[in-house]
Amino acid sequence: MNNSIYNRLLAKEAKLAVIGLGYVGLPIALEFARKIKVVGFDINPERVDLMKNNIDPSNELDASAFDGCDITFSADINDLKDVQFFVVAVPTPIDDANLPNLKPLLGASGTVGKVLKKGDYVVFESTVYPGCTEEDCIPVLEAESGLKFKDDFKVGYSPERINPGDKEHTLQNVVKVVSGCCDESLDQIAKTYELVVGAGVHRATTIKVAEAAKIIENTQRDLNIALMNELSIIFNKLNINTFDVLEAAGTKWNFLKFSPGLVGGHCIGVDPYYLTHKAQQAGYHSKVITSGRYVNDSMGGYIAKQAVKKIIAQGKHIQDAKVLVMGATFKEDVSDIRNSKVIDVVNELVSFSVHVDLVDPHASSEEMVHEYGIGLIEKPTADYDAIVVAVNHREYKSMKESDFKALLKDGTGVFIDVKGIFKGQISDLEYWSL
Ligand SMILES: NC(=O)c1ccc[n+]([C@@H]2O[C@H](COP(=O)([O-])OP(=O)(O)OC[C@H]3O[C@@H](n4cnc5c(N)ncnc54)[C@H](O)[C@@H]3O)[C@@H](O)[C@H]2O)c1
């Protein structure tokens, strides 16, 4: 085993490449590059140029994260020719019909296939349904390379668990699931990941098990949040504060601590659709998972309707109403606006002819226009009928009731606190939260 792939990587006689340098790929590439020789490959040359200058295009890492790394960034496939271990971390989005869009994954498999050699390893990290690696990706690797899976090259799957904006649960301190196509490959892949994951690895029995483990982590979370959202709708009808109920129930040792909210982003709101798609192919129509998705996807419209009702109840003409929506990103303290459900709140308000201004200290107005056709305003005016705090950005959490009053017409109006962060702190405004 002296010339095993792991030993050759350690001795810097072999190179590892990460394909797709986004939220997942760049951190893992940099971690590996502290120990072994790495090529960071991405199809987007502008992103590659930024990384060459120690800039993380996803705004998660600062320049110091690039220090001491043995890494070459490239958008040129020729730089992959002398690589022996490939890690694929490209996006796995859904299309307009909520079906898996495997284009980036199959594109990346094609790239790797073109440079694949006998003895090479390929590990997929992108979130997929069980069976995707073997049924969809490996055939592309074989077709492009002319090589035979298992005899000529090995494949594994190791899902990613990082959480954007979370400085506590990092790549190094969270156990990573790894899998391989045989005992030998599992061992080599596990050892290679152990180089960078201080918390160690969990060796899953098969690739499909590892794929399924990842998809259910997020499906479970999606469903738990959906239950909280449904409870919130019920409690709203019963005039009970949901967060008061959760606080009380949370004193029991086995009550799970989830809270209602908008479920956006490209993981929790997306991954369950990969599983339901695969289930459908297998002849099973998921009911529980799709119900959760339905509830969570409806929350933006629901929140907007509550705001509209409150504005009307204040005796105002809804067509003349002006609402400030605070927060546009898919979650707090990140700049990522992809699949943000705040846009559902905005669109529903606009459908009632409400004038909406949107602000966010983290998001880019240009990206918002590109993605949703609505930009951010630079500075809020002081004549709103209602404020919707849609995202818990740290900048908002420190605001006081007086700050919000200063933004409202005549210092009064409706205050929608989606996540209930100002519970008990608002006394003069018409307050509502999930
Ligand atoms: N973001 C997260 O927190 C997170 C957490 C766990 C798992 N995941 C999963 O990890 C995968 C990657 O997600 P991400 O958030 O890092 O995506 P991302 O959109 O941040 O980055 C993807 C990168 O891949 C590049 N790319 C796209 N197609 C490519 C191709 N064919 N060849 C080379 N590069 C290509 C893009 O230019 C981009 O730089 C997805 O499957 C996602 O579901 C993400």
Could you report the per-residue pLDDT of 25-40, keeping only the tens digit for each? Answer: 999 999 999 999 999 9
Ligand 1 atom with the smallest distance to the CA of 90 is 24
- Predicted confidence at residue 254, as pLDDT, reads 97
Count how many domains the chain has.
Answer: 2
Task: Report how far ligand 1's centroid is from the alpha carbon of 42 (Å).
Answer: 10
pTM of the entire structure?
0.94
Is residue 113 within 6 Å of ligand 1 at its C-beta? no
| pLDDT single digits (tens) 203-225 | 999 999 999 999 999 999 999 99
233 in a domain, yes or no?
A: no
Same domain, 184 and 134: yes
Q: With a 6 A CB cut-off, is 39 part of the ligand 1 pocket?
A: no
Does the Cβ of 92 fall within 6 Å of ligand 1?
yes
Same domain, 255 and 167: no
256 part of a folded domain: yes
CA 344 to ligand 1 center in whole angstroms: 24
Ligand 1 centroid to 194 CA: how many Å? 22
In a domain, 36, yes or no: yes
d(CA 149, CA 182): 11
- The protein residue whose alpha carbon is closest to atom 13 in ligand 1 is 91
Average pLDDT, the chain: 96
137 is catalytic: no
- Domain end residue (candidates: 185, 205, 225): 205
pLDDT tens-digit series, residues 12-25: 999 999 999 999 99
pLDDT value of position 162? 85
Whether 164 has a pLDDT exceeding 80, the answer reads: no
Q: What is the mean pLDDT of residues 366-379?
A: 96
What does the DSSP 8-state code read for residue 408? B
Residue nearest to atom 10 of ligand 1 (CA): 126
Average pLDDT over residues 121-127: 98
Question: Percent of the chain having pLDDT more than 70?
Answer: 100
| CB-ligand 1 contact for 160 (6 Å cutoff) | yes
Domain assignment present for residue 219? The answer is no
Across 159-163, 174-178, 197-201, 392-396, least confident range = 159-163
Do 82 and 179 lie in one domain? The reply is yes
Ligand 1 near 89 CB (within 6 A):
yes
Three-state secondary structure call for residue 283: coil
179 lines ligand 1 (CB under 6 A): no
Sign of CA dihedral 259, 265, 267, 271: positive
CA angle 144, 145, 146 (to 5 degrees): 100
Rounded to the nearest angstrom, the distance between the alpha carbon of 98 and the centre of ligand 1 is 18
Domain interval for residue 162: 5-205
- Taking CA atoms only, the protein residue closest to ligand 1 atom 38 is 22
Q: Which of 180, 205, 230 is the last residue of a domain?
A: 205
Mean pLDDT of 188-207: 97
Residue 400 lies in a domain: yes
pLDDT at res. 237? 97
pLDDT surpassing 80 at residue 2: no
Residues 199 and 248 in one domain: no
Could you report the per-residue pLDDT of 282-328, keeping only the tens digit for each? 999 999 999 999 999 999 999 999 999 999 999 999 999 999 999 99
Give the per-residue pLDDT at 168.
86
> Both 326 and 418 in a single domain?
yes
Residue 369, pLDDT above cutoff 80: yes
Residue 392 pLDDT more than 90?
Answer: yes
Joined tokens for residue 360: 């966010």
Q: Is residue 213 part of a domain?
A: no
Cβ neighbour number for residue 241 with a 10 Å cutoff: 17
Are 175 and 123 within one domain? yes
**328 and 428 housed in the same domain:** yes
In terms of domains, do 309 and 406 share one? yes
Cβ of 164 closer than 6 Å to ligand 1, yes or no, is: yes
Question: Is residue 141, in this structure, part of any structural domain at all?
Answer: yes
Pairing of strands 355-359, 386-389: unpaired
Mutate to test the pocket of ligand 1, among 83, 103, 161, 266 (most ligand atoms within 8 A of CB): 266
Same domain, 300 and 172: no
Q: Within a domain: residue 217?
A: no
Q: Is residue 203 within 8 Å of residue 182, measured between CB atoms?
A: no
The domain spanning residue 304 has which CATH number? 3.40.50.720
Which residue among 132, 144, 160 has the greatest number of ligand 1 atoms within 8 angstroms of its CB, and so is best to mutate? 160
Which pLDDT band, with edges at 50, 70 and 90, does 350 fall under?
very high
Closest C-alpha to 121, from 167, 164, 157: 157
CA 118 vs. chain centroid, Å, equals 35
Q: Ligand 1, closest atom to CA 126?
A: 41
User: Does ligand 1 have an atom closer than 6 angstroms to the CB of 109?
Assistant: no
Tell the residue number behind the tokens 């606080």, with chain if given: 247
Burial (CB < 10 A; 0-12, 13-18, 19+), residue 433, is buried
| Residue 106 CB contacts under 8 Å (≥ 6 apart), including other chains | 136, 137, 140
Q: Are residues 178 and 92 in the same domain?
A: yes
Q: Whose CA is closest to atom 44 on ligand 1?
A: 24
Closest atom of ligand 1 to CA, residue 26: 16
* Ligand 1 atom with minimal separation from the 159 CA: 7
Most distant pair of Cα atoms in the chain: their distance: 79
Is there a contact between 368 and 400 (Cβ–Cβ < 8 Å)? no
For ligand 1, is residue 335 a contact (CB within 6 Å)? no
pLDDT of residue 1: 56
Considering the domain architecture, whether residues 295 and 368 belong to the same structural domain is answered as yes
Nearest CA to ligand 1 atom 36: 20
Backbone angles phi, psi at 180, to 5 degrees: -145, 175
The verdict on the CB of residue 19 being under 6 Å from ligand 1 is yes
Is residue 335's pLDDT more than 80? yes
Q: Is the pLDDT of residue 351 over 90?
A: yes
Looking at 160-169, 197-206, 229-238, 399-408, which range is the least confident one? 160-169
Task: Given the residues 132, 137, 181, 267, select the one marked as catalytic.
Answer: 267
Cα–Cα distance list, 286 to 220, 222, 298, 303 (Å):
14, 14, 18, 27
One domain, residues 400 and 334: yes
Task: Tell me, using a 6 A CB cutoff, whether residue 104 lines ligand 1.
Answer: yes
Left if phi > 0, otherwise alpha if psi is -120 to 50, otherwise beta: which for 61? beta
Structure tokens at 95: 């299309």
